Structure 1
Amino acid sequence: MNSKELDMRHEGNVIPLASALDRRTALLAPGLPVLLLRVRDRAAVHLSKDVQTLFDAAEEVLLEQVDRTRDTSEQRRSQQAVRNVRLKRKHVEFELLDAFHQAFAGLAQSTGKALFDSDLVRAPQPRLTRTDNAQTLAMIARAHTREGAVLEQLNARFEALLETPLRSTRGNPVSPACLCRYFAQACGELRADEATTAVLFDLFDQHVLGRLGALYSEANQLLASAGVLPMLTPMAAAPGARRPSRAGAPMLAAGQGQAIALQAAGQAFFASMQSSLAPLRGQLTPRLRATGAIAVTAQDLARMLSHLQRHTGVAAGAGAFDLGEELQHLLLKISARSGTRRCLGQAEEDTINLLGRVFAAFEQESSLHPRMRALLARLHLPLLKVAVLDKSLLTRASHPARRLFNELASTAIGCRGEADSLYLRLENVVQRVLDDVVEDSSAFKSQLDTFLTASLEERRRNDLLEQRARDAEEGHLRMQRARHDVEAALDRRLRGKRLPLSVLRLVRDAWSQVLLMAWLKHGIQSAAWKGALLTVEQLLASIAPHTRAEARVRLLAGLPALLKALREGLGSIALDSSTSREFFCELQRLHVQACTQAGGKTTAPDPSWIKVTEPIRLPGAEPLPALKEADDVPPCAFKMLERLRIGTWVEVREADSVLRCRLLARVEGSDRYVFANHEGVKLREWHRVALARAVHHGEVRLLNGGRAFDRALRKALDQLGSGQVR
């Protein structure tokens, strides 16, 4: 290990003297109450443990990325990210805790005046240019939604101890906003790329911000037991949350608080879309527009949808099902039985119309086989039930119902229709969701878990088959490239020359294998490759006529090394001993002949010598395809090829059939693209120019994989926003 590597390894353990002195001052924090020092120290212990857990998880995530990706450059990037995180994790932890202590020291120095957020950290605030600011703000907002009530209590107790008002909960050194600033400032030392920084911030949200409840509760309990505002109840109600029925009731669990926050975000998003949905109102159930009707609740509508799901043909995929007509008929029947006119509420009707637009957009999804679109469209009613009760379906990509739909669509992209075994497996999942008639997302959650578990082993098996096929194809492509390089190298040295037939055969049939082995083992820039080519040049020079005495002397001096190189090379490919013996006997005769042709004497032409006029072709080598020039292919077609990643699906249109296959291999430095089906069986192969031409002429079409619900929702929202839907 060199000194540079040692410096890198210990870089995270080096603490500048000035920083150490500043931290000592922050640790002492003169003027800060002892109780706040105790809170600070306990919070520092919490943060230290959570940050260590964060980096342990980060290493696992980044290592999984290394194992999962098949792109060489992406693998190198992920491996460098793992090394960088391992080397500097201690330094990041130190910087975060240092900023944390500096913030508490700022509290001591600011006693007697109102504290603003900028007073907390003396160092300049870092710019969060490496992360999405909207995502960071959402992290802070979620944390405030979960822990806002208990943080308000802690804020009040801090103000009582300091006898100074804090401007807001964000002015507290342990607030989510401040902790995000500390972490962003510390991560600046990593100099990580955007992908790695995004991973770190996601894990920071999970392992640090997600565990603030325990920290705040412990701090409040410590201060309350010491007599600081002991009259405060253990939990204060957060804005929009219901107050507990009795004092001292336990605070909401973090998961419940997060669910409330997600619901609120979904409701806000849906409310912003209702104005665009207004033109559609009244079209769904036109016979129920009479005044004085009572709107059914969301829960009642969910039960009605469950009834339709159980008793109508939609579960079987009937195409004549009209949701508006069925709901109208059901509401009229309920009105007749109850004696009170019932109708759909405005929010419920808007939800039905929005999901209807989403599935209408999904019906135009060209990446899926028509039979697969029809199969997934049968999930319309179950998803509508979820959307009626849980608007976070519209805003949360990780919602179980939305994720199951996307997983099924992503898996179905390679399905060839009902004859495919994959169709039967996906149909079984859809049918189980339809059979499980509940008014929440529990059916989707259980089926998602079952589907992912069942798919894991199959994915591993398919990945293994694909990897074997990919390795074989890459080996084949690499061998062909090596053969072409050997042919080109020998062609430059042999064509146009007059050579003995025995030498030509040996070089073309046997020594070419030595060159192939050197190319495959060591590469075209290696000493072994260059040495094998030099031996060919020396062999050809040794059999040429040597008319001068000096030339004959050089020939005799160089023969031992030449013969040794020839014997070692031919031995490495296990050439037949009789063939080798015959060649060296013939070579001896040629060397004697080269030395005896002196003094201007001429001899009759030897019929065993021939002139090489044809290109050198090795046995078994495939000729390079004669590709047309790329002048007829626009640059946009080649740009589309840049979107191709391993696993990308394409649709191939032929004379009488349509074929779906995905990219199996693209050898680095090669222009060949190999495609296979979802079982890893090779189906098609193109060179880069030919594939770009096929894409340009519409013979090959790139398919959008994954997140079909997200695309359909985005398309529906675009149509609503532009007023296209009436």
Structure 2
Amino acid sequence: MANDGKVVSLNKAAVDHASQPASVRLPVVLLQVRDKAALQLKQALQVLFDNADDTLFEMADRALNNVDQNTFFEAMRDLRLKRKSIERGFLEKFYESFVRVGQYDTVEASAPPPLSYDKLALVPNDELERTVALDAMVAKVLSRDSFALGQLTTRLNVLLTRRLDDSTNPLGPVMLCDYFLQAGRSLGVEIKVKLIILKLFEKYVLTDTDQLYAEANQLLIAAGILPELKAAPARRAADRSSDRPRPSVAEPEIRTDAPSKPAQRDESVQEVFGALQDLLHDLRGSMAPKMEPPSEAMPISTSDLLRLLSHLQQYVPQQTPQNDYDLRQQLEQLLTRVSVKSGKFRVVGVVDEDVINLIAMLFEFILDDRNLPDSLKALIARLQIPMLKVAVLDKSFFSRGAHPARRLLNEIASAAMGWGSRDDYQRDALYLRIDQIVQRLLNDFVDDTSLFSELLIDFLAFSNDERRRSELLEQRTRDAEEGRARADLARHLVEKELNSRLLGRTLPQVVVNVLQDAWSRVLLLVCLKHGANSAEWQAALSTVDDLIWSVEPHDDPDMRMRLLELVPGLLKSLRDGLTSTAFDPFATSEFFSQLEVLHVQAFQRELATVEGTSAGDDSLVQVVEEIVLTAPGETTDGEAQVRLADDDPGLLQVDKLRVGSWVELQENDEFKLRCKLTAIIETSGKYVFVNRTGMKVLEKTRMGLAIEFRRGTVRVLDDTLLFDRALDSVVTNLRKLKAH
């Protein structure tokens, strides 16, 4: 999306004023006020939610017990899931308020009164806490910006038929809070979390209302609406910073990316960069024009360097990681041309040269990193000049982990971790989104680093949506695998119980067949449904025992009476069980006919025993082989037969794996499979892997994985932050060079 760097799409939240009825058509200047304010509010909300995740995570980390920790983690999850709907809901309410103020004031306003605090159905104490917090927030804005707000309300009343005051002004703090409350009413979090979120709303949205009112007033003045009103005094940035809410002693401090003491941050940034410069000292002087210096070298200014880089940025090739694009060499050639043209030997200043050398080394590491797929390296390689320009402009790029440019690079690498060599990445939505980011930076980035913040916010929203979809499919995969594991465990238990009763016995063939082929399914169903300790399970096993007893010969004369008593209940249990598993009705009928014959023979045998005569026996079979029940599609796994020593290096590597680890498996000479460990099934010892969409792509036993590690066909990918890993490697190498 190659829009102007200052334009942010409002997506579905925007209400097309052209489609509104004539009765609510707003003046053009009011539409401009509305849309400009919507841009600022949307950006402020995005910053709010970006920081909310870090804030809640930090509070979870500081929690004194598991209950509080889980509360904050659940709040993080809920906020991530509902972030988009809250942002959209806020802007929808904002636009609706402008529609209402544009209506003729012929009836009482149908809009709900602002700050209707019953929206979230809190208990009275919670209601009181929130009401107090909201009143304080509104009062702070009014005490600070009431003059500018009053002027804005006065000017709006010139344009509208409906009379407004500060509490009904669509841009007033009362209404802004109301939009946020209504948009967030679906949040299922505790009051202490809601108060934290309200604090963040005050911090990132309400703190900058002076800019909101100043820009709105300027637009109205430019349109000739009461230009004679005295302008409000501008608030200094330092004053605005001091207006940000400070936590009380009992309240955990909310972490932000913007420190409250810029001087301290500047010192910290300079300290970090100074340490890096000390390590880079021996590399200086290597980048200079390829010509004889006619006179003393003259360093070019940073602004001139940025112009040279912007020139090179327009000619970055569509390269692959294997193609060398030496930025320092390109700059040397430009410097040579500049020196020849000016007649002066021009070089890059010391500080700027240090930055260039450091960025070049960082990208050398990144493009050699085996953890990044080659398709991603080709894209990241094209970001070298934009990242260099950021570092030249802002040295906190090297010291601040939350720097937008640095975080954008990390988020891109993290999102693309699962790309495999088989993937048709050029049709992949993620690849296309990253490619758009690269093109936008190459085309639009000159020296306004806020473009990185805009791209980061959009990419986080995109990647969060993708992650939610993959997590849903991943959870389904885990549930299916755990269900399969339970079925395997139940199947082994059924095998054990049947074999303990049948092995070594001589029984009618039809009985053995029914127990193995049909009643085993009944036992499996009962075990899965009721468990191995249930009365139902014991009853199903008793049916097996009764059936076996009923067809075996007995010497005791009293057994005839027991057989007569046993058979009716036995037949009922057998029929109910076979029906529950939808066993073939024809086969069931055939079995009962044969069983009736067997019972008649058994009865006659008992009677012949009493009378001293003999009765004929049905064909019998001795059970000598164990019953083995296999699941549909199951095959014998040769890996399960392998046994390795407990201290085997392959096994030790497997045992270090954690759920969420990414691995790369060499499928053949050409293809590598990247997948994430999503579940370790304890009962079966299976390791289940999914691709980045959450779909199952691999299943291995512990021994099978260990063998792959020993062969070197699988390796664990390092999923730590890319930039941080690169910087750590570069600093380590520079220290080694300096030591020598």
Range of TM-score over shorter length? 0.5 to 0.7
> Which of 712, 723, 736 matches 1:709?
723
The structural deviation recorded for 1:329 is: 3.5
Aligned equivalents of 1:433, 1:478: Cα separation in 2: 52
> Which of 413, 432, 448 matches 2:456?
448
Provide closer, same or farther for how the CA distance between residues 297 and 550 of structure 1 changes in structure 2, counting only shifts above 3 A: farther
For residues 186-197 of structure 1, the aligned pairs below 5 Å read none
Asked if 2 retains the 8 angstrom alpha-carbon contact of 1:54 and 1:207, the reply is: no
Provide closer, same or farther for how the CA distance between residues 588 and 354 of structure 1 changes in structure 2, counting only shifts above 3 A: same
Partner of 1:628: 641
Q: Which amino acid in structure 2 is aligned with residue 409 of structure 1? A: A
Asked if 1 retains the 8 angstrom alpha-carbon contact of 2:273 and 2:395, the reply is: yes
Partner of 1:276: 279
Provide closer, same or farther for how the CA distance between residues 558 and 693 of structure 1 changes in structure 2, counting only shifts above 3 A: same
Q: Which amino acid in structure 1 is aligned with residue 627 of structure 2? A: I
Partner of 2:506: 498
**Pairing 1:606–2:594 present:** no
Asked if 1 retains the 8 angstrom alpha-carbon contact of 2:687 and 2:702, the reply is: yes
Deviations 1:570-621 (A, max 9, x none): 2322334454344344334434444534359685773521111222134755
For residues 255-404 of structure 1, the aligned pairs below 5 Å read 257-258=259-260, 260=262, 261-285=264-288, 293-311=297-315, 313=317, 319-335=323-339, 341-404=345-408
Task: Report the 3-state secondary structure (helix = DSSP H, G, I; strand = E; otherwise coil) of the residue aligned with 2:582.
Answer: coil
The structural deviation recorded for 1:698 is: 0.8
Partner of 2:548: 540
Asked if 2 retains the 8 angstrom alpha-carbon contact of 1:675 and 1:682, the reply is: yes
Partner of 1:571: 579
Aligned equivalents of 1:541, 1:348: Cα separation in 2: 93
Deviations 1:639-680 (A, max 9, x none): 433444444332222442332231354434222223343344
The structural deviation recorded for 1:286 is: 7.0
Provide closer, same or farther for how the CA distance between residues 276 and 54 of structure 1 changes in structure 2, counting only shifts above 3 A: closer
Provide closer, same or farther for how the CA distance between residues 583 and 328 of structure 1 changes in structure 2, counting only shifts above 3 A: closer
Note the residue ranges of structure 1 that are not aligned, 5 or more in a row. 1-49, 70-89, 95-199, 216-244
Aligned equivalents of 2:611, 2:357: Cα separation in 1: 102
Q: Which amino acid in structure 2 is aligned with residue 641 of structure 1? A: V
Provide closer, same or farther for how the CA distance between residues 436 and 604 of structure 1 changes in structure 2, counting only shifts above 3 A: farther
Q: Which amino acid in structure 2 is aligned with residue 271 of structure 1? A: G
Q: Which amino acid in structure 2 is aligned with residue 671 of structure 1? A: G
The structural deviation recorded for 1:700 is: 1.4
**Pairing 1:251–2:239 present:** yes
Q: Which amino acid in structure 2 is aligned with residue 302 of structure 1? A: L
Asked if 2 retains the 8 angstrom alpha-carbon contact of 1:296 and 1:342, the reply is: yes
Aligned equivalents of 1:263, 1:335: Cα separation in 2: 34
For residues 488-567 of structure 1, the aligned pairs below 5 Å read 488-567=496-575
Task: Report the 3-state secondary structure (helix = DSSP H, G, I; strand = E; otherwise coil) of the residue aligned with 1:547.
Answer: coil
Aligned equivalents of 1:694, 1:684: Cα separation in 2: 13
**Pairing 1:678–2:689 present:** no
**Pairing 1:62–2:74 present:** yes
> Which of 407, 411, 436 matches 2:411?
407
Task: Report the 3-state secondary structure (helix = DSSP H, G, I; strand = E; otherwise coil) of the residue aligned with 2:644.
Answer: helix
Q: Relative to structure 2, which stretch is displaced further, 423-432 or 384-393?
A: 423-432
Provide closer, same or farther for how the CA distance between residues 495 and 341 of structure 1 changes in structure 2, counting only shifts above 3 A: same
> Which of 637, 654, 661 matches 2:674?
661
Aligned equivalents of 1:605, 1:403: Cα separation in 2: 86
Aligned equivalents of 1:505, 1:342: Cα separation in 2: 94
The structural deviation recorded for 1:706 is: 4.9
Q: Which amino acid in structure 2 is aligned with residue 520 of structure 1? A: L
Aligned equivalents of 1:605, 1:699: Cα separation in 2: 65
Deviations 1:285-343 (A, max 9, x none): 37699795444444443333222212454889894533223323434444566666543
The structural deviation recorded for 1:517 is: 0.9
Q: Which amino acid in structure 1 is aligned with residue 624 of structure 2? A: T
TM-score by length of 2: 0.61
Q: Which amino acid in structure 2 is aligned with residue 690 of structure 1? A: G
Aligned equivalents of 2:235, 2:447: Cα separation in 1: 33
Aligned equivalents of 1:608, 1:393: Cα separation in 2: 86
Partner of 2:665: 652
Partner of 1:46: none
Q: Which amino acid in structure 2 is aligned with residue 583 of structure 1? A: F
Q: Which amino acid in structure 1 is aligned with residue 269 of structure 2? A: G
Aligned equivalents of 1:358, 1:330: Cα separation in 2: 22
> Which of 638, 642, 650 matches 1:637?
650
Task: Report the 3-state secondary structure (helix = DSSP H, G, I; strand = E; otherwise coil) of the residue aligned with 1:398.
Answer: coil
Asked if 2 retains the 8 angstrom alpha-carbon contact of 1:409 and 1:706, the reply is: no
Provide closer, same or farther for how the CA distance between residues 432 and 300 of structure 1 changes in structure 2, counting only shifts above 3 A: same
Aligned equivalents of 2:303, 2:547: Cα separation in 1: 91
Q: Which amino acid in structure 1 is aligned with residue 403 of structure 2? A: H
Aligned equivalents of 2:69, 2:556: Cα separation in 1: 76
Aligned equivalents of 2:445, 2:458: Cα separation in 1: 17
Deviations 1:502-523 (A, max 9, x none): 2112211221111111222233
> Which of 475, 479, 490 matches 1:482?
490
Provide closer, same or farther for how the CA distance between residues 457 and 493 of structure 1 changes in structure 2, counting only shifts above 3 A: same
Aligned equivalents of 1:708, 1:456: Cα separation in 2: 19
Deviations 1:532-562 (A, max 9, x none): 2232123212322221134444444544543
Task: Report the 3-state secondary structure (helix = DSSP H, G, I; strand = E; otherwise coil) of the residue aligned with 1:574.
Answer: coil
Q: Which amino acid in structure 1 is aligned with residue 721 of structure 2? A: R
Q: Which amino acid in structure 2 is aligned with residue 609 of structure 1? A: L
Aligned equivalents of 1:393, 1:526: Cα separation in 2: 63
Provide closer, same or farther for how the CA distance between residues 320 and 697 of structure 1 changes in structure 2, counting only shifts above 3 A: closer
Aligned equivalents of 2:591, 2:449: Cα separation in 1: 80
Aligned equivalents of 2:666, 2:237: Cα separation in 1: 65
CA RMSD, Structure 1 to Structure 2 (Å) = 4.7
Deviations 1:99-122 (A, max 9, x none): xxxxxxxxxxxxxxxxxxxxxxxx
Deviations 1:177-221 (A, max 9, x none): xxxxxxxxxxxxxxxxxxxxxxx99x989959x979x99xxxxxx
Aligned equivalents of 2:591, 2:738: Cα separation in 1: 82
Asked if 2 retains the 8 angstrom alpha-carbon contact of 1:719 and 1:725, the reply is: no
Identity %: 38
TM-score by length of 1: 0.62
Q: Which amino acid in structure 2 is aligned with residue 538 of structure 1? A: D
Q: Relative to structure 2, which stretch is displaced further, 397-406 or 259-268?
A: 259-268
Task: Report the 3-state secondary structure (helix = DSSP H, G, I; strand = E; otherwise coil) of the residue aligned with 2:314.
Answer: helix
**Pairing 1:718–2:729 present:** no
Asked if 2 retains the 8 angstrom alpha-carbon contact of 1:407 and 1:706, the reply is: no
Task: Report the 3-state secondary structure (helix = DSSP H, G, I; strand = E; otherwise coil) of the residue aligned with 1:378.
Answer: helix
The number of residue pairs the alignment matches comes to: 528
Task: Report the 3-state secondary structure (helix = DSSP H, G, I; strand = E; otherwise coil) of the residue aligned with 1:631.
Answer: coil
The structural deviation recorded for 1:406 is: 1.4
Q: Relative to structure 2, which stretch is displaced further, 428-437 or 470-479?
A: 470-479
